[in-house]
A and B are shown apart, each in its own frame.
Chain A
Amino acid sequence: MAYQNAQLDEEKVFKDPVHSYVHVRDQVIWDLIGTREFQRLRRIKQLGTTFITFHGAEHSRFNHSLGVYEIIRRILENFTDRLQWNSEQRLLCLTAALLHDLGHGPYSHCFEKVFDLDHEDFTKQIILGDTEVNQILTKVNPDFPKKVAEVINKTYHDKLIVSLISSQIDADRMDYLQRDAYYTGVSYGHFDMDRILRVMRPLDDKIVIKSSGMHAVEDYIMSRYQMYWQVYFHPVSRSAEVLLSKILQRVKALHNDTYQFQQEPTHFYSFFTGEIKLEDYIKLDETIMVYYFQAWINEKDSILSDLCYRFVNRKLFKYTNFHFKKNMSDLFQLKQLFKQVGINPDYYLEVDSSSDLPYDFYRPGEEEERLPIYLQMENGELKELSEASEIVESISGKRRTDHKLYYPADRIKKLPDSQEKQQIKALLGMK
């Protein structure tokens, strides 16, 4: 039997708290899960620094990737009667679902921002490069790695396959919303996924929702909205993220200034120069990062040492709401005052905006801006979701953004009494 059709002697299952079980029958999928590049995802947390706020949120990209694969497997089972896909197309969907997050780095979003990287580039490189994953995909067909990479990068010619993995209502979002809700322990984030899967319909090059399933989709949109504001943009998690960015910025700056580290940042060298070897990228995971943070607590550089101590021991920056119009001049004044009292504002003062987040909530947008969710009405007509649903309209029409200013309250409190200290406290609204 050709490798692409090879089945395991008996079905393997992974116990999963969100989907009960993840079922694997394809030899290719089983082999991919066993590769070192996929196993690495166990050491990349799905929600980065959110565990600092919600202590249960220690789940990994590995859990999530299996979950997305399982959702696609179930969708394809439902589509069996409707789609005449050959076995390679089926395998392409499953494989792309499983591997879609393969290139995420440690504390991905933050890491990418500081080093100007894109995890999607690395997903592509791992799939097409000299890796265990590539060897397996090539065994299916020499062209197969390229197709998988294109589906994940959304440049594959068959948009229907792309839509399953990545759209406004896709397997990726359906898994992470439920998984993140489960592990953070919040009560939002739940919706009737089974119902949504039953009302999904392939139509030309996109997925549409049978109109009778509108309320299930409303629930999904609501979950996405609540998770956005309650979990993803939680100001305490964002504070940890600010610290993390500052640590990486400081290490980079010190390296550029030829500072003599006690614990050399060996794993980061290629990231500093921008000439990143794939092997270096694969080797760097969150266990390695945390090791460095622990070690750098003992560095002579007081800024790096302090930032690492804060991150490791959860001594986070405090925050206050920041209004651009009202507080803009305050910000410049604060920077000056920070310098005067010996606190470097480049590392201890930061404005964080909701647009800095890698998440979003549903908005239909303008025509041809991004693909919205379509309901298929009884007469076959397509209607954009917010046109049919008042609930969705009210959420998507509401513009809400948020900005916070982060600062080290503990350090400010410990400053000797001075006019500058009083001014800083007044500007930040500290007691």
Chain B
Amino acid sequence: MLLNHARLIRFFTDANEVVGRKKLQKMIYILKKVGLPFNEKFGFHFYGPYSEELTLRIEELCNLGFLTERREKKESYIQYHYILNDEGRQFLDQAPDDLPVCGDLVQRLNDQSARFLELIATMLYFDDLTPEEVEQKVTEVKAKANYKQEEFTQAWQFIEQLKL
């Protein structure tokens, strides 16, 4: 009961601010893939793993006044910033979550670009394939992103570190 909301708020206590909805989506997906208990269901969309449930829950947390959403006008689109506020922190005091300590990991993810996290998340989505097949599949489904071999290499290293 309210646990799913509380887990997200706890995530934001570690992340503090997340810039961009795509980044937020990929961060939660990656955390879920490494075993953190997020319940939002993800499917594959045009831009990699995506959860409508997560989108709705973030909207709820903004409506409830626990997260502050700030819009930043970019050249051809609007970018959203999500920041935990005091009311969100108060909510967490009342609704304790069960998320294990993961502050370092959240920070490391938050330090990466949305593009890199998108690559990591997409590679993890196909984790039932061999590494060669993963790269081939990612290249195929994300042809427009045009990921370079060195990005794949960095991504594999990052994934390896995630498993530790």
Contacts and interface: CB of A to CB of B under 8 A. Distances in A.
Interface of A: 112-113, 118, 120, 153-157, 159, 324-325, 328-329, 331-332, 349-351, 353-357, 360, 363, 365-371, 399-401, 403
Contacts of A370: 45-47, 50, 55
Nearest to B1: A351
Interface residues of B, number: 45
A329 to B, nearest CB: 7
B14 to A, nearest CB: 21
B56 A401 contact: yes
Given A351-B1, A351-B2, A370-B50, A401 B95 contact: no
B31 interface: no
Contacts of B91: 324-325, 328
B33 interface: no
Nearest to B126: A155
B77 A367 contact: yes
B141 A325 contact: no
Contact of A157 (B2, B47, B78, B140): B140
A241 to B, nearest CB: 15
Contacts of A350: 1
Given A155-B137, A351-B1, A401-B63, A368 B94 contact: no
A280 B60 CA distance: 37
Contacts of A157: 140-141, 143
Contacts of B126: 155
B53 interface: yes
8 contacts: A324-B5, A325-B87, A355-B60, A366-B80, A367-B79, A371-B45, A399-B62, A401-B63
Interface stretch (B17-25, B102-110, B146-154, B155-163): B17-25
Nearest to A335: B1
B46 A159 contact: yes
Given A324-B64, A399-B59, A155 B78 contact: no
Contacts of B57: 353, 355
Contacts of B21: 365-366, 369
A369 B47 contact: yes
B1 A349 contact: yes
A103 B126 CA distance: 20
Contacts of B50: 369-370
Interface of B: 1-2, 4-5, 20-22, 25, 39, 41, 43-47, 50, 52-53, 55-57, 59-60, 62-66, 74, 76-80, 87, 91, 94-95, 114, 125-126, 137, 140-141, 143
B80 to A, nearest CB: 6
B60 A401 contact: yes
Nearest 7 CB-CB pairs, A to B?
A367-B77, A355-B56, A355-B57, A401-B60, A366-B21, A154-B44, A157-B140
A328 B94 contact: yes
A401 B47 contact: no
Of the candidates A367, A369, A399, A400, the one having the most CB atoms from chain B within 10 angstroms of its own CB is A369
Contact of B41 (A118, A353, A399, A400): A118
B141 A360 contact: no
A369 B56 contact: no
Contacts of A400: 63
Contacts of B74: 367
Given A349-B1, A350-B1, A367 B76 contact: yes
A366 B43 contact: no
A331 to B, nearest CB: 8
Given A155-B137, A355-B57, A366 B45 contact: no
Contact of B63 (A153, A368, A399): A399
Given A360-B56, A370-B45, 17 more contacts: A324-B64, A324-B91, A325-B64, A325-B91, A328-B91, A328-B94, A331-B1, A331-B2, A351-B2, A354-B60, A355-B57, A365-B21, A366-B80, A370-B46, A371-B45, A371-B47, A401-B60
